Amino acid sequence: MTHSASLTRPGNDTAATNRAVILSALLALVLLASMGLSLSLGSFPTSFNQVVHALTAPQDSDIAFIVWELRLPRILLAVLVGAALAVAGAILQGIVRNPLASPDVIGITSGAAMAAVTFLALFGTGLSIHWLPASALLGAVFSALLVFLLAWKGGISPSRMVLVGIGLSAAMGAVTTLLIVISDDAAAMVAYVWLTGSLYAAQWQDVLGMLPWLLVAVPLCLTYARHMDAMALGDHVALGLGVNVLRSRLVLMACSVALAGAAVAFAGGLSFVGLIAPHIAARLVGRGFGRLVPASALVGALIVLYADLLGRVAFLPKDLPAGIFVSGVGAPFFVYLLHRTRYQNH
């Protein structure tokens, strides 16, 4: 058993593990440095020293307000959302055994988007905007359940799930479009910006709302790392190794839905992060799930952080949605990825 278990874990090789740990630590350092950089850039000119001063000795100054209330929550939310989307993507790609799966492709994002736009169209600004994340999350869970239900045929075939998800996203996308078309122009623009994915006006309570999802779902999916590695070799191999494939798949799916749903709830439809971050991470640390998850989270956080930074400072005085830049980088990278993996069987 020990022998076969080690076979299923490509991460057991010590040299590779060390390399993965070092690379992940480096990524974490880069992320911290980038957060510092992002903190000191913005429409209001601030020097790095001023920012450090405002951080360490908070006082009633303009700079302290900008740093603590405007920039820091936004940066933290970008990091959390990016990490959540990336881990959600890594899980899905592992379950589906296809490098092209991601929360946007199989309909989780579009379910959340539909619910959020419904909320905006029905209540506008009447009801507190703080209920928007709750409704988006509900939409994500609802659509994931629907995908599962409709793809069920005496079991779950990953590819059937993907196809059903694609079909459902088309329908939910149609309803979203309908809602945007029938609401007035201003509300339509709000909904459209939300759909693209934006971290504009992020607040501390958003950060605190996002954090628990990561704290629960990421450790939970890491405990299933061995099962995931076994399932990567095929259902039969995993069953032979004593993995309860259906249960593992359900738990991991639930983690993925929770992470993607929460991310979409707080930042809108940022596409492509869940798709490309796991690939970049896999090139750095390899495919063992236990190493892939932390590295993906870091890469995803970096992507969203820089996309938001660009949107914030590159086109002043405009504050553009981060989603534009994520897709701008993500989509071409994705095409390259498809091209590179074109000889695989999937």
To which residue do tokens 């069987």 refer? 345
Q: How far is the CB of 327 from other proteins (least distance, A)?
A: 4
Contact between 277 and 86 (Cβ < 8 Å)? yes
Which is closer to other proteins, CB of 21 or CB of 331? 331
For residue 317, whether the previous peptide bond is cis, meaning omega lies within 30 degrees of 0, is: yes
Q: How far is the CB of 316 from other proteins (least distance, A)?
A: 14
Q: How far is the CB of 227 from other proteins (least distance, A)?
A: 24
Which is closer to other proteins, CB of 53 or CB of 160? 160
Q: How far is the CB of 247 from other proteins (least distance, A)?
A: 23
Which is closer to other proteins, CB of 86 or CB of 105? 105
Q: How far apart are CA 310 and CA 306, in angstroms?
A: 6
- What is the CB-side half-sphere exposure of residue 138 using CA atoms within 13 A? 10
Where along the sequence are the contacts to other proteins (CB under 8 A)? 98, 100-101, 104-105, 150-151, 153, 157, 159-160, 162-164, 166-168, 170-171, 173-175, 177-178, 180-182, 185, 188-189, 192-193, 195-196, 271-272, 275, 318, 320-321, 323-324, 327-328, 331-332, 334-335, 338-339, 342-343, 345-346
Q: How far is the CB of 326 from other proteins (least distance, A)?
A: 8
Q: How far is the CB of 197 from other proteins (least distance, A)?
A: 9
Q: Residue 280 CB: number of other CB atoms within 10 A?
A: 20
φ, ψ for residue 100, nearest 5 deg? -100, 0
Residue 224 sits at the vertex; the CA angle it makes with 222 and 229, to the nearest 5 degrees, is 100
Q: How far apart are CA 171 and CA 167, in angstroms?
A: 7
Which is closer to other proteins, CB of 29 or CB of 201? 201
Which is closer to other proteins, CB of 160 or CB of 287? 160
Q: How far is the CB of 240 from other proteins (least distance, A)?
A: 24
Q: How far apart are CA 264 and CA 269, in angstroms?
A: 5
Which is closer to other proteins, CB of 212 or CB of 332? 332
Which is closer to other proteins, CB of 11 or CB of 321? 321
